[in-house]
C-alpha cells in the first residue's frame, strides 16, 4: 500500500495509542474493582476473557487504521466505526438488543458487522471504499430497525438501532472527507 493513502500523510505515529489502550485496560479492570464493593457486578473468568478479547480486537483494529492513514478524518472515521462495532457486540452479548441476549433475531447484527468486514477488505481500506462500506452497514442496520418496527418493538429499541446506523453514517461522512484529502478540521 502506498505511504500516502488518499490524503493521508506519511506520519503513522498515533498520539492516542496510549490513551486508547489505557482506557481499554481501565474498562477491563472496572468490573473487578466493582465486584469488591457490590454483589450486583458478578463477572466470571470467561466474562473477563471475552471482554479482554473484544477490547483487544477493537484497539488493534483502531491501531491498524491509524497506520493506514495519517489523515485525521480517516482516523476519526475508523475510531467511530470501531467504537460502533464494539458497542454493538458488547450490548448484544450482555443483554441483547432485540429481546434478550438469547434471541436469535440478534444474529442479524452479526450480518451488519460481516458486511462491514467484507466491504472494507474489498475496498482495501481506502477511504473512498470505506464510505460505501459504512453506508452499506447503515442500510443493513436500518433494515433491522424496520424489522423491529414490523414485529412491534418499542420505539426506544428502534431508536437505539438507528443510533448505530447514525454512527455508521457519521463514519462514512468522515471517510468521505478523508477521500477528498480533507482533515477533520479542514
Residues 104 and 34 in one domain: no
Q: Please report the pLDDT score of residue 5 as a whole number.
A: 47
Q: Which residue has the higher pLDDT, 159 or 66?
A: 159
106-134 as b/e: b if 16+ CB within 10 A: bebbeebbebbeebbeebebbbebbbebb
Q: What is the pLDDT of residues 67-91, one digit of tens each?
A: 888 899 999 999 999 999 999 999 9
Number of domains in the chain: 2
Q: Please report the pLDDT score of residue 3 as a whole number.
A: 41
Q: Please report the pLDDT score of residue 12 as a whole number.
A: 64
Residues 41 and 62 in one domain: yes
Residues 92 and 128 in one domain: yes
* Percent of the chain whose pLDDT exceeds 70: 92
pLDDT mean across residues, the chain: 90
Torsion angle defined by CA atoms of residues 100, 101, 104 and 108, in that order, rounded to the nearest 10 degrees:
110
The C-alpha cell of 163 is what?
443510533
Q: Which residue has the higher pLDDT, 114 or 12?
A: 114
**In a domain? residue 120:** yes
Instruction: Judge whether residue 186 has pLDDT over 70.
Output: no
Determine the Cα–Cα distance for residues 22 and 26; give it in Å rounded to an integer: 6
DSSP state of 7: T
Q: Please report the pLDDT score of residue 125 as a whole number.
A: 94
Instruction: Judge whether residue 9 has pLDDT over 60.
Output: no
Task: For residue 29, give its domain range.
Answer: 15-68
Q: Please report the pLDDT score of residue 127 as a whole number.
A: 95
Instruction: Judge whether residue 99 has pLDDT over 90.
Output: no
pTM (2 d.p.): 0.85
Residues 114 and 56 in one domain: no
Amino acid at each position: 500500500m502506498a505511504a500516502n493513502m488518499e490524503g493521508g500523510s506519511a506520519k503513522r505515529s498515533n498520539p492516542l495509542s496510549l490513551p486508547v489502550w489505557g482506557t481499554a485496560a481501565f474498562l477491563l479492570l472496572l468490573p473487578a474493582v466493582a465486584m469488591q464493593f457490590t454483589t450486583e457486578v458478578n463477572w466470571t473468568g470467561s466474562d473477563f476473557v471475552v471482554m479482554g478479547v473484544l477490547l483487544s480486537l477493537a484497539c488493534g483494529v483502531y491501531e491498524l487504521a491509524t497506520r493506514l492513514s495519517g489523515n485525521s478524518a480517516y482516523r476519526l472515521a475508523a475510531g467511530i466505526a470501531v467504537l460502533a462495532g464494539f458497542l454493538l457486540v458488547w450490548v448484544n452479548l450482555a443483554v441483547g438488543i432485540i429481546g434478550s441476549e438469547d434471541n436469535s433475531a440478534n444474529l442479524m447484527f452479526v450480518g451488519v458487522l460481516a458486511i462491514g468486514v467484507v466491504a472494507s477488505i474489498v475496498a482495501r481500506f481506502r477511504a473512498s471504499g470505506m464510505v460505501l462500506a459504512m453506508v452499506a452497514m447503515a442500510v443493513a442496520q436500518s433494515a433491522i430497525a424496520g424489522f423491529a418496527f414490523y414485529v412491534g418493538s418499542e420505539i426506544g429499541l428502534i431508536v437505539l438501532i438507528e443510533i448505530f446506523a447514525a454512527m455508521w453514517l457519521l463514519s462514512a461522512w468522515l471517510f468521505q472527507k478523508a477521500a477528498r484529502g480533507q482533515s477533520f478540521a479542514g
